[in-house]
């Protein structure tokens, strides 16, 4: 597998002011996060095909996978976790959300 060198996605996101979150291979949880992302995409897609709105499908996926909201969650004073939490909040508030393409 070749390294991903296509920066078009990041350039478009940056140009539109979208927040991004980057995983790299050395992060011990990176493969787990990717597997989980795939599982969430499948679950949300199926729920939307079944007639749920995007937000309803997201809420259903949270319940299905046991994912608490970060509201009120204290990330143990770890600056990286606090930063990730803030990125997640900004992503959640993004107006033009859609299924991954």
CB 91 within 8 A of CB 21: yes
Question: What stretches of the chain show up as alpha helix (H) in DSSP?
Answer: 8-15, 30-49, 54-65, 79-92
Tell which residue, 69, 60, 63, 67, has the closest CA to residue 89: 69
* pTM for this prediction: 0.78
Average pLDDT, integer, range 38-53:
97
For the stretch 62-90, pLDDT in tens is: 999 988 776 556 666 788 888 888 888 89
How far apart, in Å, are the Cα atoms of 38 and each of 14, 58, 97? 23, 13, 17
Domain ranges of the chain: 8-92
């Amino acid at each position: 597998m070749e390294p991903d060198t296509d920066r078009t996605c990041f350039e478009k996101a940056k140009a539109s002011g979208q927040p991004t979150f980057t995983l790299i291979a050395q992060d011990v949880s990176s493969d787990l996060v990717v597997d989980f992302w795939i599982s969430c995409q499948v679950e949300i897609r199926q729920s939307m095909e079944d007639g749920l709105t995007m937000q309803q499908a997201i809420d259903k996926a949270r319940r299905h996978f046991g994912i608490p909201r970060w509201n009120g969650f204290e990330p143990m004073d770890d600056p990286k976790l606090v930063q990730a939490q803030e990125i997640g909040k900004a992503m959640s508030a993004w107006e033009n959300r859609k299924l991954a393409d």
